[in-house]
Structure 1
Amino acid sequence: MPDDRHAPDQLAPLLTPEGWALLNSLGPYREEDALAISGRLRKAGHSPELVSAVLSQSRLRARAAAKFGEFASSMLFTRAGLEQATRLSVAARHARRFVDAGVRRVADLGCGLGADAMAMASLDLEVTAVELDETTAACATMNLMPFPQARVVHADAQSVDLAGVDGVWLDPARRSTSASGTTRLWDPEEFSPPLSFVEGLARRGLPVGVKLGPGLPHESVPAGCEAQWVSVQGDVAEVALYFNALKRPTVRRAALVLASDGAAELVAETDFGAGAEPRIGPLEGFLYEPDGAVIRAGLVAELAERLGGTLVDPHIAYICAPQLVQTPFAKAYRVLEVRPYNVKALRAWVREEGIGVLDIKKRGAAVTPEELRRVLLAGQRKGATGKATLVLTRIGDDRVAAVVEPA
């Protein structure tokens, strides 16, 4: 796949009638067919540059289907833009916040490929999508062409005149680009635009929302906003901060879990670290592994209370409860046995039980599951078909290995 340093050269051939028609004439991308398609297109007289651009874009469209569904087949992408792009299912929820707050005209600052602008425009909001990178802005322009109420402006987000706008959405760039590629940024003040710029907009009273990476430290979350961590199919995708009219008055932190069978949310009105002290109990009964959004939002103690359970250690995000409770906020396992963590003893157990497939989970344990699995299964007799799941964790100063099974 071409590096994004060559993105302008890869995109330009597609912004012609010939290039656009050729790209859209290709069927679903399959890697094993790429070489044959390249030869066929070159034989038909298309330039090597156009063939390379078409195949690269077709590959990106195939990858983008996970975020954009059927819309991906008519969009333009860059690799870096796709990595940071909001899933349409999540963008729709961002857009709904503005609609529910009575906002009609939104400035999408740092619009990237235009996912959030697409969702807003589809709800009849007037959107001014602003993007500093010229190549990405060109992609957003093409992606937003079906929406007459959206326009793209190639400009610095911090210099745009917001007169006439009654709401602002931001998706700051969180990577730096150099000759060697891109590097993730962790300091919110190094984002483009920085978090302080977002706070400045909020102080003007505007309804403001911003999408940030899910690893944002709690101490970096500004006072007076709502922080909502979002997971999609078990993967934590983002934290969105909502200010003023976009903020729900009784929510300070939230975990939104999106799954194929629906959505569920766990919320708290208290600030980070201000909730009730979690109760601590034994590792027995049913073990619950909280969703990553619950952990990031600092809502493990609240989930434990909802489940009627206790934490196995005050610093470990594992919950145990005597009964099985169906919950979208955690995976549940039945605890079969708890033993001290001892590699030699665990190897003997693996042999005695005839285990050939071993799943290892861990929290608070300084081990690499893949390496430990290799060690424990080394020397196991061929044909071993047993399956087992080990949970490695720490209880106080003791390291333990719990044998569990999915509930």
Structure 2
Amino acid sequence: MDAAGLTQLLSPDGWALLGALPPYDESRAMVLSDRLRRDGVNPDLVSAALTQSRLRAKAKDKFDDFADGMLFTQAGLEQSTRLVVGARHARRYAAAGCTRVADLTCGIGGDAMAMSALGLPVLAVEVDEMTAAIATVNLRHFPEAVVRHGDGLALDLAAEGIDGVFSDPARRSASGRRRHDPAAYTPSLDTVLALRETTPALGVKVGPAIPHAAVPEDAEAQWVSVDGEVVEAGLWFGPLAPDGPGRSALVLRGAAATMLRAPEGELPVAEVGPVGAYLHEPDGAVIRSGLVSLVAQEVQGRLLDRTIAYVTSDTLATSDLATSYRVLDVMPFGLKRLRTALRERGVGRLTIKKRGTAVVPEQLRKQLDLRGDAEATVVLTRIAGSQQVLVVEPV
């Protein structure tokens, strides 16, 4: 969508058209487009409205029903913070007593919306003019929020009355590829981190693949997952990290939230041992934060391999930080052996999990050529240096 398309979309007729469109259906989009054009609707407006309808449908996962009143860009939606996570960002600033927060790279305004919803005055700055205009639309219901087109790093924070700073640097190249090196963020992570010298209440959203070596010693680094998907890591400084520096994992599942934090001093070292009666798959946020040994301790278990994040135990002790399975069978990996075992169980629908193996699940599923009515789950992994298959069922 270009500036002309956005202008038409924000006109009374354009906004009315967007609101009147039926729920987005990819299979019907072309038919609907043709009908609107035949009815005399400007083709640019039709294109802009259908694009927004498609993006709103995709945004439901992040913004729920709020998506129906928002505008998006593809890149802005991909990088935007889920509402449930943005609300937790906002609570940190509110709890720290911040009176005005600057969101230096606001994108489409998702985090600024969450902060404004808590009553925090926000100055949202975006370097891209089109995206800044869209953020203005998305923040229109919050009179305390100000959107500005410009370079957030050029702000005079003291003159603006800013006592809290948030930044979500761009982590994709112009071609859309993810950037995992913090030095390649836009702006770079080091550039953003320099702000904590003048504004201690600094929060930075980073990619969950950030290496632990890149995390500053004075940061609380928290990896966050939502319903099993690791969505981000956050670096929090000063009053935004009331428990001090360290690593933590926040696991959000439905309405439940579970937090795991590294203890002071050395992490406990988990034992490595044979497969027991149960297998536990730690949540991705726990794995990214390097806290698998704490889950092993909680379920009274041990690792299958020192370098692989599967935990096994002899007795059942579940955790909100892991998914637990009952182990039904263990065998060395071999296509013929596995096919026979699954056919004997009448398995036709198979879930394949893997860690520490180069096997491609979709290729394996085709090679197994299963037929039957039963369902099963197999785990492909390495145990004591050899490739093994565990047949399991969820507890």
Query: TM-score with structure 1 length normalisation?
Result: 0.93
Distance 1:229 1:128 in 2: 26
Aligned pair partner of 1:395 in 383, 387, 393: 383
Cα distance in 1 for residues equivalent to 2:256 and 2:2: 37
Choose the corresponding residue for 1:75, options 64, 70, 75: 70
Report Cα offsets for 1:191-217 as digits up to 9, x if no partner. Answer: 112111222111235200011111111
Structure 1 residues 251 and 199 mapped into 2: Cα distance closer, same or farther (>3 Å)?
Answer: closer
Deviations 1:75-94 (A, max 9, x none): 11001100111111110000
Whole-Å separation in 1 of the counterparts to 2:37 and 2:353: 50
How many percent of aligned residue pairs carry the same amino acid? 51
Amino acid at match of 2:201: P
**Distance apart, 1:190 and its partner CA:** 1.5
Aligned partner of 2:156: which letter? Answer: D
In structure 2, runs of 5+ residues without a counterpart are none
Counterpart in the other structure of 1:249: 243
Report the AA paired with residue 299 of structure 1. L
Return the letter of the residue paired with 1:230: V
Separation in structure 2 between the aligned mates of residue 353 and residue 103 of structure 1, nearest angstrom: 60
2:166 counterpart of 1:169: yes
User: 1:130, 1:154 within 8 Å by CA — same for their partners in 2?
Assistant: yes
For 2:226 and 2:2, how far apart are their aligned partners in 1?
A: 29
- Looking at structure 2, the residues matched to 172 and 223 of structure 1 have their Cα atoms a distance apart, in angstroms, of 20
Q: Match for 1:242: what amino acid?
A: W
1:350-381 CA-to-partner distances (Å, cap 9, x unmatched) read 3333322222111111111111121122xx5x
- 1:303 maps to 295
1:218 to 2:212 alignment: yes
After TM superposition, give the deviation of residue 251 of structure 1 in Å.
5.4
The answer to whether residue 328 in structure 2 is matched with residue 365 in structure 1 is no
How far, CA to CA, are the matches of 2:36 and 2:109 in structure 1? 30
Q: 1:336 Cα deviation (Å)?
A: 1.3
Secondary structure of the residue that 1:224 maps to in structure 2?
Answer: coil
In the alignment, the residues of structure 1 paired with residue 3 and residue 263 of structure 2 have an alpha-carbon distance, to the nearest angstrom, of 46
Q: Does 1:157 align with 2:152?
A: yes
Distance 2:137 2:24 in 1: 20
Counterpart amino acid of residue 171 in structure 2: R
The equivalent of 1:287 in structure 2 is 279
**C-alpha contact (below 8 Å) 1:11/1:53 kept by paired residues:** yes
Deviation, structure 1 residue 15: 2.6
The whole-number CA distance in structure 1 between the counterparts of 2:203 and 2:78 is: 20
The answer to whether residue 348 in structure 2 is matched with residue 356 in structure 1 is yes
TM-score, scaled relative to structure 2 = 0.95
User: Which residue pairs with 1:126 in the alignment?
Assistant: 121
**Quick one: which amino acid aligns to residue 171 of structure 1?**
D
- Whether contact under 8 Å (1:230, 1:258) holds in the other structure is yes
Aligned counterpart, 1:49: 44
Alpha-carbon distance between aligned partners in 2 of 1:250 and 1:106, rounded to the nearest angstrom: 21
Partners of 1:341 and 1:18 in 2: CA distance: 62
Which stretch shows the higher mean deviation, 276-285 or 219-228?
Answer: 276-285
CA contact (8 A) 2:219 2:244 kept: no
Are 1:210 and 1:241, in contact at CA under 8 Å, matched by a contact in 2? yes
The within-5 A match list for 1:2-401 is 6-163=1-158, 164-177=161-174, 181-250=175-244, 252-270=246-264, 274-377=266-369, 380=370, 384-401=372-389
The CA RMSD over aligned residues, in Å, is: 1.6
Query: Match of 1:184, SS?
Result: coil
| Whole-Å separation in 2 of the counterparts to 1:7 and 1:85 | 20
CA gap 1:251/1:306 in 2 versus in 1, 3 angstroms: farther
Q: Deviations over 1:254-294 (max 9, x none)?
A: 111111141111111348xx412211121111100011000
Aligned partners of 2:197 and 2:297: how far apart in 1? 36
- Shift in Å, 1:231: 0.4
Q: Distance in 2 between matches of 1:183 and 1:162?
A: 32
* Partner SS for 1:258: strand
Shift in Å, 1:395: 1.5
Q: Partner of 1:71: helix, strand, or coil?
A: helix
Provide closer, same or farther for how the CA distance between residues 207 and 356 of structure 1 changes in structure 2, counting only shifts above 3 A: same
Worse overlay, 248-257 or 77-86: 248-257
1:225-261 alpha-carbon deviations (Å, 9 max, x no partner):
1011110110000001100110132551111111114
Work out the CA distance in 1 between the residues paired with 2:189 and 2:86: 20
Aligned partner of 1:3 in structure 2 is none
Give the structure 1 partner of residue 392 of structure 2. 404
